[in-house]
Structure formats: structure tokens, C-alpha cells
């Protein structure tokens, strides 16, 4: 393995200008959720240029690339998402153009978040979520192509997938990729490596998520005579207080993932007009939960609070439901999926994780583990499909969704080496090693 690793290291350095250029081209193309076509086109063109055995777009707008090994073995999916969040106020970007992809020397957190280092970075929206990682996954495939040309054994199949509509959180792109596209195309996979931000660590899970919508009902009246109506907003205050009290006393906990939580993220009322007491108050909650809890259980908790308030106040009326919003892909497909993510966590002792760790050791990188604060599409893979998965990426969680969005170029080159070494180790595994 020492001989092949030296080749991997050499190829990573040789490809540095190309992967940096590709990342910058990705950043320069806006790709808000539902508007990912430009970035999808770039990914497809790059895979064709680099010599992927197959690359195509599915009806949902996802992009898929396949590199066949020269020996039989398992199929490993390397996954990115195509969309990104809004830039926010340009004035907060410190003079950088969010779509400029400027390169300079910046102070960046180190891997352990206990100090800063001056390093070369690429600035711009989605540099850290996930265009830096996506560019590396594409060029990791290029290294595998070159290894095959040089006669080195490459087992199994390398699959790159870039999915749409990850940011809205319903996981529509990933769900349709797994449930629709892969069966139609005859593609199977054994495990997944996500390029969501990990600071070159192996990430092993995150909390689940469910978006809850509570509608508190009242009765309208003229604003000059509020006693003739029932103010839905006033009624909502009791619910809000009860929810906070309940979570403070009853939150779940996991030694690795932390505590479950709830955050009130949106509140509005209708009619929402002058001189009218509101008859509806709509509250959206972001509920995070740990393994052992379920999204149905989260709904039941809020329903229990509603029932308690209704029993003590005959004028209190409310409903709770999981938010389900229709989403339309850039290819014109519209579907509504409940906004839920399963909690998941994989053990460091699982063969999949041990193999990934072995890959990092071969690549000369420290083996460190972490867990995301946010959620990812791996909920579909490990939470629902029960396939093993990890996160491994050059990007850093601290910079995601912020106007200091950037990615370290030195980490990108390390990620090229790490991705390939992890793949070569994972494809040594047998069928039983992929069982969860």
C-alpha cells in the first residue's frame, strides 16, 4: 500500500490546480434550492472530461457518476448536494463577493477548533457547504481513474452523487435517488461517504429532526372590542411557555450527540391586519431528537401539551402536524414530503468505520471522530435504509451558512488523498461488514 499511496499523494498534488479551479467555478454559479441546474451541468461536464465511465442526470435533477473498478468488490457512494442557502446581506461579507471565489490567505480554525492558522482559502457561498467537498469527491474519482491506467488494483465501484434540495431538509433529492433512480438504473451501493463539513475527521452521526407546525385558533373581533373575540396570539403564549418547560425537564440525551432540543423558528398570525384581533396563530418548531426518540413521539409530546391546555381552558384550541411543503425541482418535478430526519449513529467499532480509519492511517492523517450539530441526507442512508455511512470532508462546520463561508485549500488536497485511501480500504470489506 505504501507504493500506491505515494502515487495517490503525487496525483493529489498534480491535480491541485484543477480541483481548486473546479471548486471556484462551482462557487461562481448560484445554486439556491430548486435552481441547481447550472451547478449540475458543471458536475456532469467535469465528470465527462475526467473520464468517468458513466455520468448522467436523473429526472429529479440529481447527478450521478460511476467509475468501475478493474476487480470485483463493493460499491461505495460518495455524496454531495447541489444546492446552498441564500447569501444573506452582502454587506456582511467583509468585502468578498459571495460568488467571487476569491483566493487569499486567511485565519482559519484548526482541526480541533482550539486555535487558528493562516492558510490559503477559497471564499464564497457554499465553499464550506458543500462545493469544496464536492469538488474533492469528483477529483478523487479522477485519481482512481489514473490508478487503473497505471495498472493498480481498484476494486468495486466508485459512485458520485450530487443531489438536489438538501437544504430545505425534507431530503427529497436523496430519497428519490435511492427509491427511484437507482432501481431504474440498476445501481446498488453498499455504504456512503458524505462530504458534509467534518474538518477531515470521520463523522459518525447526528440528531434527528422534525419540523412541527402548531396552529392555535381563536375568534376575530374588531380591535376596538377585543373582548368580543379570542386572540389566538394571546392563547399561544401559554403553549409556548409550556413547551419550553416540558423540554427543559424531559429532553432526551446521548453521550455523543448531546441533548434533544426544540426551537421556535417562525411565528405569525392571520388575518394580520390593523384593527382585527387575530383568529389564527401559526408556530413552527424545529425539534431535534436523539436515538431512542422518534418524530412521531415528538408530535405526541406537543399534542399532550395541547390536550392539557384544552382541558384547563375551554377557549384554547390548537392542532399540531408535521410540516409538509411541496417542492419543485429545477427539472419541473413537484412533490411534498414530510419534513423529518431520523436520528442515527454508527459505532467506531463497526467494520465500515474501522476500514475508513485504516484508510486515513495509510494516508498519514490522524484518525479523529466527530458528530454533526446539524442534520444531513445520511438520515436516509443510515436512519432509514440501514446502510453504513460516514462524513469525511475538507470543509469546516463553523463556516457553514455564514458570510465567512470559505474552505482551506490545504485541507482539500488532504481530502483527495483521504477519499481515495478510504475507498481502497472500504472496498476490501465483505458483504457482512456492511450490515448495520
Q: Based on the domain organization, do 319 and 214 belong to the same domain?
A: yes
Instruction: Note the pTM of the prediction, 2 decimals.
Output: 0.96
- N residues, the chain: 436
Q: Are residues 23 and 143 in the same domain?
A: yes
Radius of gyration of the chain (CA): 24
Residue 56 belongs to a domain: yes
The β-bridge partners of 84 are 32
Q: Cα–chain-centroid distance for residue 294?
A: 19
C-alpha cell at 222: 374588531
Report the pLDDT value the prediction gives residue 1, as an integer from 0 to 100: 56
| Within a domain: 282 | yes
Residue-wise pLDDT for 274-284, tens only, equals 999 999 999 99
Q: Please state the φ and ψ torsions of residue 230, each to the nearest 5 degrees.
A: -125, 110
The three three-digit cell numbers of residue 269, written as one number: 398570525
Domain count, the chain: 2
State residue 272's pLDDT score: 95
What does DSSP say about strands 155-163 and 63-68: parallel, antiparallel, or unpaired?
antiparallel
Look-up of cell digits 450521478: 64
Interacting residues of 82 by C-beta distance below 8 A, sequence separation 6+: 31, 36, 39, 40, 43, 61, 62, 63, 162, 163, 164, 166, 173
Domain of 237, CATH number, reads 3.30.70.360
Do 239 and 170 belong to one domain?
no
Task: Tell whether 378 and 303 lie within a shared domain.
Answer: no
pLDDT of residue 400: 97
Calpha distance 136→122 (Å, rounded): 13
For residue 214, give the 3-state DSSP assignment.
strand
Residue 337 lies in a domain: no
CA gap 240, 245 in Å, rounded:
9
In the chain, which residues have pLDDT < 50? none
- Residue 333 included in any domain: no
CA gap 332, 237 in Å, rounded? 40
Q: DSSP assignment of 139-150, as one string? A: HHHHHHHHHHHT
Q: What is the pLDDT of residues 305-356, one digit of tens each?
A: 999 999 999 999 999 999 999 999 999 999 999 999 999 999 999 999 999 9
pLDDT at 2: 75
Phi, psi of 135 (to 5 degrees): -60, -40
Q: Do 392 and 253 share a structural domain? A: no
Same domain? For 15 and 26 the reply is yes
Q: Note the pLDDT tens digit of each residue in 110-166.
A: 999 999 999 999 999 999 999 999 999 999 999 999 999 999 999 999 999 999 999
Amino acid at each position: 500500500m505504501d507504493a500506491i499511496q505515494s502515487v495517490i499523494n503525487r496525483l493529489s498534488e498534480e491535480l491541485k490546480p484543477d480541483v481548486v479551479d473546479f471548486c471556484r467555478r462551482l462557487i461562481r454559479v448560484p445554486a439556491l434550492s430548486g435552481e441547481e441546474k447550472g451547478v449540475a451541468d458543471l458536475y456532469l461536464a467535469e465528470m465527462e472530461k475526467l473520464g468517468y465511465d458513466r455520468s448522467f442526470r436523473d429526472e429529479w435533477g440529481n447527478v450521478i457518476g460511476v467509475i468501475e473498478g478493474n476487480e470485483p468488490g463493493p460499491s461505495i457512494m460518495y455524496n454531495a448536494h447541489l444546492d446552498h442557502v441564500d447569501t444573506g446581506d452582502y454587506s456582511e461579507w467583509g468585502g468578498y463577493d459571495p460568488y467571487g471565489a476569491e483566493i487569499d490567505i486567511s485565519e482559519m480554525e484548526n482541526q480541533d477548533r482550539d486555535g487558528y492558522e493562516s492558510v490559503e482559502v477559497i471564499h464564497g457561498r457554499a465553499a464550506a457547504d458543500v462545493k469544496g467537498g464536492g469538488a474533492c469527491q469528483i477529483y478523487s474519482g479522477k485519481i482512481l481513474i489514473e490508478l487503473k491506467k497505471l495498472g493498480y488494483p481498484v476494486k468495486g465501484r466508485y459512485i458520485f452523487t450530487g443531489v438536489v434540495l438538501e437544504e430545505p431538509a425534507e431530503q427529497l433529492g436523496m430519497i428519490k435517488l435511492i427509491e427511484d433512480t437507482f432501481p431504474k438504473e440498476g445501481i446498488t451501493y453498499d455504504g456512503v461517504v458524505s462530504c458534509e463539513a467534518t474538518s477531515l475527521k470521520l463523522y459518525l452521526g447526528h440528531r434527528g429532526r422534525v419540523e412541527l407546525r402548531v396552529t392555535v385558533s381563536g375568534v376575530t373581533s374588531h380591535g376596538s372590542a377585543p373582548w368580543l373575540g379570542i386572540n389566538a396570539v394571546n392563547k399561544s403564549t401559554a403553549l409556548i411557555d409550556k413547551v419550553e418547560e416540558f423540554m427543559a425537564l424531559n429532553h432526551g440525551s446521548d453521550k455523543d450527540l448531546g441533548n434533544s432540543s426544540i426551537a421556535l423558528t417562525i411565528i405569525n398570525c392571520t388575518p394580520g391586519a390593523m384593527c382585527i384581533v387575530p383568529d389564527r396563530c401559526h408556530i413552527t418548531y424545529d425539534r431535534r431528537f436523539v436515538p431512542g426518540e422518534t418524530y412521531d413521539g415528538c408530535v405526541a409530546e406537543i399534542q399532550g401539551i395541547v390536550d392539557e391546555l384544552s382541558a384547563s381552558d375551554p377557549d384554547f384550541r390548537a392542532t399540531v402536524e408535521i410540516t409538509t411543503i411541496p417542492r419543485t425541482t429545477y427539472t419541473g418535478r413537484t412533490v411534498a414530503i414530510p419534513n423529518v430526519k431520523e436520528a442515527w449513529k454508527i459505532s467506531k467499532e463497526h467494520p465500515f468505520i474501522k476500514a475508513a480509519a485504516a484508510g486515513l492511517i495509510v494516508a498519514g492523517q490522524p484518525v479523529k471522530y466527530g458528530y454533526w450539530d446539524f442534520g444531513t441526507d445520511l438520515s436516509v442512508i443510515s436512519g432509514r435504509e440501514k446502510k453504513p455511512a460516514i462524513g469525511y470532508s475538507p470543509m469546516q462546520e463553523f463556516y457553514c451558512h455564514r458570510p465567512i463561508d470559505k474552505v482551506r485549500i490545504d485541507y482539500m488536497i488532504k481530502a483527495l488523498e483521504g477519499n481515495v485511501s478510504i475507498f481502497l480500504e472500504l472496498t476490501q470489506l465483505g458483504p457482512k461488514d456492511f450490515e448495520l
